[in-house]
Structure 1
Amino acid sequence: MIHLQNLSKSYKLNGKLKVVADDITATFPTGVSVALLGRNGAGKSSLLRMISGAMLPSSGKILSTGTISWPVGFAGSFNGELTGEQNCRFVARVYGVDTDELLDFVEDFAELGDHFKLPIRTYSSGMRSRLAFGLSMAVPFDTYLVDEVSAVGDAAFRFKSNRVFNERMASSGAIVVAHSMAMLRETCHAGAVLEGGKLTFYADLEQAIATHMGNMRRTMAG
């Protein structure tokens, strides 16, 4: 269970006040995959980062009864001077998982070949993404935070990524941000719509999608 209690977040963007969260109180149930919906710029990625602990709220609390991943596929926290292998070793120690098992999984999954033992600063963006997704899947969490997982790699890698992700979802929950409604329908059971700094949770995914699409139509009409 993840509970947002009076959560607020705002900051200045190009001289204007950007409100991501406006006194949000909501609960994401245990073991449920939730689609996080909202128009571009609504603050979905920022909300995921707050839930993960990577971004601090302006006020309010985030309470959890289980372990929460960093945003799946997020490569921004890698140390570019360390190799892919060294970064993975560090994460294994931080999360207390078997180092050898984690390294074997990530090396096989990410398909980086000799680059796995080279500094991450030499990686392409695609290589960083594959490493980040593999590392995310190698650590067991109660809730995975997913930001556009389908954008990782080519078609074959996306198929493999979706298969492994669905395996994790058999025993874990998730909060998923994606533009593909087909992907969300395949992955999620419930939905939450972020609009104007307010978050509304829907136990019925289709109701959440309908609300989101209505918001999008109003935006285009305006």
Structure 2
Amino acid sequence: MIKISGLTKYYPSKLGRQYVFDKLSFEIPSNRNIAILGSNGAGKSTLFRMLAGSEYPNSGSITTDLNLSWPVALATGIHPQMTGSENTRFIGKINGISNLDIYESKVRKFSELGKKFDLPVQTYSSGMRTRLAFACSLSIDFDVYLIDEVTSVGDAKFREKAKKSLLERSLSANIIMVSHEMDELRNFCDSAIVLNKGELKFYDDIEQAITIYQAL
């Protein structure tokens, strides 16, 4: 379970503090594949970044005993001056991978970067960086995969490969996903959280959640 306790998040502005969340408390259920739904500006991305630990609340906390991924499909933590191989081994090391050679082999094969895998990431296109980050994440056994717009991963062929791998992962792990594509959410998720006016509500039925979200 992921527990949100007294979470407050705001951004300063000329008009004063703009609150995204104000003393929010909520528990995200375990053993479910969950879509996060909300209108533009509702705070989906902010919540997602805080779940991933890449952004911090002003007060309150998010706690869990689960092993969460970084946002899959975002090149978070990829160092541009390191090669694909070096980035892979570094990511594997900080995530406690015991056999880095096997891990690197999996990432090299899945990312389909060829010789580019041994060149600095700063020479990669944005799509290639995304493929590297995706491969690094999917090659680690996380309890929960945070998925951000999986349709943005590489070309059409690689996107299909990525979707298939995620579906396989969802059989043994869980997914929390943000996407503007309802069909994509239906494909991966069985339930949803609707974010509206700084409040979260969990729906056991994703279709019910989508209907409520679209009526906002």
TM-score over 0.5 for the pair: yes
**Aligned pair in 2 of structure 1 residues 210, 22: CA closer, same or farther (>3 Å)?**
farther
Once the two structures are TM-superposed, the CA of residue 48 in structure 1 deviates from its matched residue by 1.2
What is the DSSP-based 3-state SS (H/G/I as helix, E as strand, rest coil) of the residue aligned with 1:68? coil
In 1, Cα distance between the equivalents of 2:84 and 2:16? 39
Alignment partner, residue 36 of structure 1: 36
Alignment partner, residue 61 of structure 2: 61
Once the two structures are TM-superposed, the CA of residue 14 in structure 1 deviates from its matched residue by 7.3
Alignment partner, residue 92 of structure 2: 92
Once the two structures are TM-superposed, the CA of residue 65 in structure 1 deviates from its matched residue by 2.0
Contact 1:37 1:212 in 2 (8 A): yes
Once the two structures are TM-superposed, the CA of residue 66 in structure 1 deviates from its matched residue by 1.2
In 2, Cα distance between the equivalents of 1:89 and 1:137? 14
User: Counterpart amino acid of 1:39?
Assistant: S
Q: 1:1-150 counterparts in 2 under 5 A? A: 1-12=1-12, 17-97=17-97, 98-150=99-151
What is the DSSP-based 3-state SS (H/G/I as helix, E as strand, rest coil) of the residue aligned with 1:49? helix
Once the two structures are TM-superposed, the CA of residue 13 in structure 1 deviates from its matched residue by 5.5
| Deviation larger for 37-46 or 14-23 | 14-23
In 2, Cα distance between the equivalents of 1:213 and 1:32? 22
Alignment partner, residue 192 of structure 2: 191
What is the DSSP-based 3-state SS (H/G/I as helix, E as strand, rest coil) of the residue aligned with 1:71? coil
Contact 1:23 1:198 in 2 (8 A): no
Structure 2 segments unaligned to the other structure (5+ residues): none
Alignment partner, residue 211 of structure 1: 212
User: Counterpart amino acid of 1:11?
Assistant: Y
Q: Which runs of 4+ in 1 moved over 3 A?
A: 13-18
Q: 1:149-160 counterparts in 2 under 5 A? A: 149-160=150-161
Structure 1 segments unaligned to the other structure (5+ residues): 216-222
Once the two structures are TM-superposed, the CA of residue 23 in structure 1 deviates from its matched residue by 2.2
**Aligned pair in 2 of structure 1 residues 18, 128: CA closer, same or farther (>3 Å)?**
farther
Contact 1:89 1:99 in 2 (8 A): yes
The two structures have a TM-score, normalised by structure 1, of 0.92
How many residues are paired up?
A: 215
- 2:176 paired with 1:175: yes
User: Counterpart amino acid of 2:71?
Assistant: P
**Aligned pair in 2 of structure 1 residues 195, 115: CA closer, same or farther (>3 Å)?**
same
Alignment partner, residue 219 of structure 1: none
User: Counterpart amino acid of 1:134?
Assistant: A
**Aligned pair in 2 of structure 1 residues 53, 196: CA closer, same or farther (>3 Å)?**
same
Q: Percent identity?
A: 43
Alignment partner, residue 218 of structure 1: none
User: Counterpart amino acid of 1:154?
Assistant: D
Contact 2:149 2:180 in 1 (8 A): yes
The two structures have a TM-score, normalised by structure 2, of 0.94
Contact 2:70 2:76 in 1 (8 A): no
User: Counterpart amino acid of 2:192?
Assistant: G
In 2, Cα distance between the equivalents of 1:111 and 1:80? 18
Encode CA deviations 1:185-207: one digit per residue, 9 max, x unaligned. Answer: 11111100112221111112112
In 2, Cα distance between the equivalents of 1:104 and 1:31? 30
Contact 2:148 2:178 in 1 (8 A): yes
| Deviation larger for 35-44 or 161-170 | 35-44
| Deviation larger for 37-46 or 152-161 | 37-46
In 2, Cα distance between the equivalents of 1:43 and 1:112? 34
In 2, Cα distance between the equivalents of 1:87 and 1:40? 33
Encode CA deviations 1:151-207: one digit per residue, 9 max, x unaligned. Answer: 111111111000000111101111100111111111111100112221111112112
RMSD: 1.4
What is the DSSP-based 3-state SS (H/G/I as helix, E as strand, rest coil) of the residue aligned with 1:19? strand
